[in-house]
Amino acid sequence: METMVLSGLALALALPSLALENGLARTPPMGWMSWERFRCNVDCQADPHNCISEQLFLEMADRLAEDGWRDLGYEYINIDDCWSAKQRDAAGQLVPDPKRFPSGIKALADYVHARGLKLGIYGDLGIFTCGGYPGTMLEHVKQDAQTFAAWGVDMLKLDGCYSSAEEQAKGYPEMARALNATGRPIVYSCSWPAYQGGLPPKVNYTLLAEICNLWRNWDDIQDSWDSVLSIVDWFFTNQDVLQPAAGPGHWNDPDMLIIGNFGLSYEQSRSQMALWTVMAAPLLMSTDLRTISPSAKEILQNRLMIQINQDPLGIQGRRIVKEKSHIEVFLRPLSQAASALVFFSRRTDMPFRYTTSLAKLHFPEDAVYEVQDVYVGKIIGALKTADNFSVVINPSGVVMWYLRPMALPVQPWHVVRQQAPGEGFHPALV
């Protein structure tokens, strides 16, 4: 272990730009996170069942392990804000709240690991966390990284409340080096771009991809369809900047899945899952897995959807059509020349019949695809590029297709990862 620590540190000092390629998160991380559903509820006397306590995380770990989630890839159980005591200890270390986490974080990590899961924790690069708990100032970065590693933490989300742009510019790369220097593999989630407006010139996505495994670009999600739409709007309006930044080991994070909560209809829940999948987004659920409905569980446990999300090429999809009829089409190129298409309706009147062809969606001439409906599961059959087809899309709903080539044209065609705005974006043959 000592050798690993030394070599990790040596690498961090010698090659700051490469210090951060930690070999982790080769596909978007999947799991559960406390924040959107359980927030900073610390009143365990009035609400012992739902407060931020070790009990909540033990129960969610049981659900992930026993209800089929872990076996589908949902492996991280992530503590968000409000876990710590209000002060550091005499040695300057972060400590969990002794009443709410009496066994400590190491014991929780051991419990989680024994169930084949991984534990995530939350910090903030400022004087306080967003919820007012002790933050990680620059002088504490190294110490906190070592504390998290000693506890057996597998993922760190580092927020940016109460910190300046200068502190963030120093602190986020510093934490990446400090995590690597521990010798423990810890996936690193940065909120840095979200505090700098999410776009160049303030945000350097080339640098971010070298430092962080995933990053929050924009606003926190809330339990509403308006919130989901605002996130979708921002990500796809800015897709020319954001799409090339994502790939194996470094992902855009549009925030948690709120499926199973209170704010989304059935159709909207299906839409969030499909759009996050086409974005190659982390799938971090924030819902009560103890009481989740069968319909929400079915959406979140859709095997083909997860397979598409976890595609090894790791290419983020794009919006390729925006119709006056309020229908939008999204394309994600996948490995083995497959593709995912999402037909999304922003309409609020009634189911809409949308007619198009793969040719209109820039698929190669003379190709033939086997088409599978991702939600219905059925194989629709062979579709030639030139064939017109129709899909019926419910208001605020989606139809999602998985297309596998049955016959390809003679000329191979490739997706261009780094594209200038306005260039075509096509399925890939790799």
List the catalytic residues.
159, 220
- Rounded distance between C-alpha atoms, residue 169 and residue 162, angstroms: 14
- Rounded distance between C-alpha atoms, residue 272 and residue 261, angstroms: 13
Edge-first strand listing for the sheet containing 327-333: 318-322, 327-333, 339-345, 398-407, 368-373, 379-384
Residue 250, phi then psi, degrees to nearest 5: -155, 105
Q: Rounded to the nearest 10 degrees, what angle do helices 105-114 and 54-66 cross at?
A: 10
Residue with tokens 């040695």: 91
Q: How many CB atoms lie within 10 A of CB 343?
A: 21
**CA triplet 66, 67, 73: central angle to 5 degrees?**
95
Residue with tokens 């989740």: 292
What Cα–Cα distance (Å) separates residue 417 from each residue in 18, 319, 397, 422, 425?
A: 21, 15, 29, 13, 9
What Cα–Cα distance (Å) separates residue 380 from each residue in 56, 303, 351, 369, 389?
A: 43, 18, 20, 10, 11
Residues 6+ apart with CB under 8 A from 295: 266, 269
**At 371, is the secondary structure helix, strand, or coil?**
strand
Structure tokens at 18: 């490469």
DSSP classification of residue 221? P
